[in-house]
Structure 1
């Protein structure tokens, strides 16, 4: 998978629409009862950045960004301004006792979904063990945190993060109605699963 470690322009991302998406098949039988088949256990985000473009300069920025990513070919960082911070999140261990994964937890009643954070913002991660800040090495492309020695207790982290995304089209549908006016029907982007 090709990935460019650059963030989509924040000023345009702030006006984007979208959020988590699931895939569920629902089969309704003749009696009206339903059978639901959950295809994805974890969500995948989908956004439309066309709603964030307000000026001719922003459109030019999107066109340049789209061309540099070659449409769907290369992924990039995207800031979901409705969900980009995680505070006091219990980290997930990996097979290596020195390496832990950054996560964002979503709890509702007895159900909790754990989202892997693979694109932490540089300089935003604060890791604590038993309330004490820990000296760690953070991989900004995987969200893995390496300790110099195995932590004595489960580590917690505060982090700001981006979503790894790609354009979900190889065509950019721009209509120039006047010099300062461009119309865009939709520019979809979708989260890339790690």
Structure 2
């Protein structure tokens, strides 16, 4: 988990992020054997996301906004929130999030805290940066009122209030929007007004932080 002292809880310009390119990367090691078979080993236990926000620039104002944002983050020094244009919902197919979207765990009558997560088949991705005021919770399919729980917006942990602790074996689910914690993957941005007007797009590399 990232050091919160090096994280600014601010969002990269949304209009630019939705035009960005990028996605997840896995790091695997593949060894060819003398038999002709191969052995595959996962070097990372979790995927990591990489983006180029340059493709999201549509105007000089966009470029200026990004340059100001880059300066405020001191280049790669401080991490920030980034809205993945392809994957920022707990739901599927761009449907509005519902409280039953993602399985978080089962109650035991005493546990009050659950970590937000999103599932991709049997792979569980921990969600640490839910978008404030978007989290919905349900217990055994019944959506709870917003005052039945609280959310830590810095680590994605939800906590049930005392009178709403899930009973034993109760299914706890959640719906939400979420951001990716990232930083700039460079300490220098190079831009030219003439080149931008001519259609040349500057590269703005961004990488997920854990």
Residue of structure 2 equivalent to 1:42: 46
How far residue 171 of structure 1 moved from its aligned partner, in angstroms, is: 1.1
Residue 128 and residue 20 in structure 1: after superposition, are their counterparts in 2 closer, same or farther (change >3 A)? same
Distance 1:41 1:179, change over 3 A: closer
Change beyond 3 A, Cα 1:93–1:162: farther
Contact 2:20–2:55 (8 Å) recurs in 1: yes
- 1:133 is matched with which residue: 119, 129, 143? 143
2:78 matched to which residue of 1?
A: 74
Higher strand share: 1
By how many angstroms is 1:177 displaced? 2.4
Distance across 2 between alignment mates of 1:38 and 1:50: 31
Structure with greater helix percent: 2
- Cα deviation per residue 1:76-109 (whole Å; 9 max; x = unaligned)? 1111121111141011479x811101111111xx
Tell me the TM-score normalised to structure 2 length.
0.82
TM-score by length of 1: 0.89
Question: Which residue of the other structure, out of 117, 127, 132, is the alignment partner of 1:117?
Answer: 127
Task: Determine the structure 2 residue equivalent to 1:105.
Answer: 119
SS of residue paired to 1:58: helix
Aligned residues of 1:93 and 1:99 also touching (Cα < 8 A): no
Measure, in 1, the Cα distance between the counterparts of 2:118 and 2:34. 41
The answer for unaligned runs of 5 or more in structure 1 is none
- Which residue among 90, 95, 103 is the counterpart of 1:86? 90
The 2-side partners of 1:186 and 1:67 are apart by: 16
Q: Tell me which moved more, 47-56 or 172-181.
A: 172-181
Q: Select the residue among 169, 173, 185 that pairs with 1:168.
A: 185
Aligned-pair Cα RMSD in Å:
2.1
Contact 1:75 1:164 in 2 (8 A): yes
SS state at 1:25 partner: strand
